[in-house]
Chain A
Amino acid sequence: MRATNFLVIIAVLFSFTVMADAGTLEDVKARGKLNCIVSSGLAGFASPDGKGGWQGFDVDFCRAVAAAVLGSGDKVNFVPSTNRTRFAQLNAGEGDILFRNTTETLSRDADLKLTFLPINYYDGQGFLIRRSLGVTSATQLAGASVCVQVGTTTELNLADYFRFNKMKYEHLNTGTNAESIIMYESRRCDVYTTDASALASTRAALKNPSEHMILPEIISKEPLGGAVRHGDDRWADIGKWVVNALIIAEEMGITQKNVKELAKKPGNNPGMNRFLGTEGSMGEMLGLDKKWAVNAISAVGNYGEIFERHLGPKTPLALERGLNASWKAGGLLYAAPIR
């Protein structure tokens, strides 16, 4: 880990010139590949699939951006990162964009010099615990040993929560989600805390998921979203509107299956025509092809399809849409219009 930090510094020292002058869009087009920073392994969000490829919710957002910019969802280099290194990697230019179950906060936006894309997952911090311990609420956790990943907003929330509730606890740092699982399974810690979505992913991967439960308290807001470096507005716009397009496609009923068919000729819905590039010049305004949104949807489907594929009830994570349903279905997903 220490070595990683030094490598990052060296990378920072060498690579700033590269990123400071050229536009990211031109770089990506010239390279023919999108470098996308993802988690080094979090089932459902980003994990290697054993066939040399990557799978997951975040991975599909990378593919959508690659498809919108380069025409194919396969033109992506996935750059795995830990919580510690992710922002340094982005700022050092190792990746063009980051989709890594990352919480948007003021200090990250302003002080770490990131520009956040629209929120693509509304999450909150929860606690995973063994049923056999007989705990039913987070307020009964006084004295517990708690595992938490370093370099996250969760470790700060954890300190605040226990301080505010005047409970003592033992704080244990782990480097990755995988390390946390090992510590939790060996019972070095009683509780593992992170975003509830990641807890669902972790619980599903344990030997006997039914022996473990997620406590009802959600102690923080964790709006997860992609991010790019400060200072390249055009590139940030592209990331922003690809995410919006995936959300809007679900609202309009455009799916991976029917998108090609719909895009053949203009229909009688002007909004949909603008989306599909059969009317207006939305793609050109972004510096992309007319068919940018069509390409993104053909590569990965709309937001709902991505969710169902990696996180939904039919997956081991078995997450409900909850807050992540479209605003039309009582959720919080509400994208600005393509107009």
Chain B
Amino acid sequence: MDPRASLSRLWRDEHSRSVIIQILAVVLIFGLFAYLVRNAVVNLEAIGKGFSFGYLQEPASYDINQHLIEYSSRSTHFRAMLVGILNTLLVAVSGIVLATVLGFSLGVLRLSKNLLASKLAHIYIDYVRNVPVLLHILLVYGIIVNTLPVPREAQSLGDIAFLTNRGFFLPKPIFEPLFLVILGLFAAGIVFTIWFRRYAADIQRKTGEHYPVFWISLGAVLGIPLISYFLIGGPITFEIPALTGFNFSGGMVVRPEFTALWIALSLYTAAFIAEIVRAGIISVNYGQTEASLALGINHGRTLNLVVIPQALRVIVPPLTSQYLNLAKNSSLAIAIGYMDIVATIGGITLNQTGREIECMIIVLLLYLSLSLLISFAMNIYNKRIRLVER
């Protein structure tokens, strides 16, 4: 048989054609990738730049203003990288918390029957969503740096905290050993709450009677530790910041770079979350609320037991991608000099050592792991709130 004819028959068959195309695509993609990698390796060799991560053990030689762990210019590039990772995590986690709180409130406001509230929320959301996040960051930073006073003319808040364009200087808590007792009570409160919620649910299933779970939990987690804190006489002392020379010293400082990044990322992401929350709540047919009320269940419990669990199923998957966006957008920190992963290992280290490819590989892997971690956590949560069919 003519081989050309059999080839063309292979091509005419839908199934085999799709297989051939897929094989070709895989070969092409791998080919391109291999070409790029080989090209880089061969040519880096040609100009005598090997591929190595040895530089991570050498002293970084540069300073980082915000470091959550001990760091000096004599620390290694590896440690500088850790400082960068922690700074990224700090802004990503605080951003996610604030964006969630703001986003849920805005989403509910947007649905409010109060016309003024809902219109204001609408205008805010439309404005914020349609302006690039980098501009928000620069705007907030510009406002902080240009409108707040310099340290010598600082705005004092009761002489213990100070607002300046170099940051917010706050009293720094110093924990005395007795504080461990409070921490212990707090932990015990959490354990008790977890047990109590199960117990209360059990009782309710058996007898239909229900306990005020929220108030009892609040008392256990916050109330008891708070009361005992004052009973033992407040085992925390505060170090108050004081103006010395150019700047304040002592206390804690929240730098404008962090504040600007945190606020701007949260405001921006909150606008998206608000729309997701609104969609989630609308997706639950109002008939469900009516049915629940008709059964004599009050408004609060209707929201908690009927509306929110069903709305969450719609909210959580897109919410995850908003969290991912926020974490990745935090790399815009570089625009205002916040020392995150990109600014440390992907910026100064890269520049001072000239290890572009190695540094960028590290930065890419770090963001990838951060994103996968967030996805993983959110997927677990998503599985728990999924509609359980009985």
Contacts and interface: CB of A to CB of B under 8 A. Distances in A.
A192 to B, nearest CB: 13
A159 B249 contact: no
Nearest to B332: A2
A87 B354 contact: yes
A171 B65 contact: yes
Interface string A171-196: 11111000000010011101000000
A186 B334 contact: no
Nearest to A114: B354
Interface stretch (A8-16, A26-34, A66-74, A263-271): A8-16
Given A145-B246, A171-B65, A163 B351 contact: no
A229 B47 contact: yes
A20 B40 CA distance: 11
Contacts of A187: 150, 165
A6 B351 contact: no
Contacts of A145: 166, 246-247
A183 B145 contact: yes
Contacts of A230: 47-48
Interface stretch (B5-13, B20-28, B338-346, B368-376): B338-346
A328 B245 CA distance: 46
Interface stretch (A39-47, A148-156, A219-227, A285-293): A148-156
Given A16-B39, A150-B343, A170 B334 contact: no
A190 B246 contact: yes
Contact of B245 (A6, A16, A143, A156): A143
B36 A83 contact: no
A112 B350 contact: no
A113 B49 contact: yes
Given A14-B39, A16-B44, A188-B145, A156 B352 contact: yes
Interface in B138-169: 145-146, 150, 165-166
B76 interface: no
B63 interface: yes
A145 B164 CA distance: 13
Interface in B341-389: 342-343, 346-348, 350-354, 356-357, 360
Contact of B61 (A17, A141, A159): A159
A9 B46 CA distance: 17
B62 interface: yes
A170 B247 contact: yes
The 7 closest A-B pairs by CB, nearest first: A16-B43, A151-B351, A159-B73, A112-B354, A171-B63, A173-B337, A144-B246
Interface of A: 1-2, 5-6, 8-9, 12-14, 16-17, 19-20, 83-84, 87-88, 91, 107-108, 111-113, 133, 141-145, 150-151, 155-156, 158-160, 162-163, 169-175, 183, 186-188, 190, 229-231
Interface of B: 36, 39-40, 42-44, 46-49, 61-65, 72-74, 145-146, 150, 165-166, 244-247, 249, 256, 331-332, 334-335, 337, 339, 342-343, 346-348, 350-354, 356-357, 360
23 contacts: A1-B342, A2-B331, A2-B346, A9-B357, A13-B39, A14-B36, A19-B43, A83-B351, A108-B354, A113-B354, A150-B343, A150-B347, A151-B352, A158-B63, A170-B247, A171-B63, A171-B65, A172-B337, A173-B337, A173-B347, A183-B145, A188-B145, A190-B246
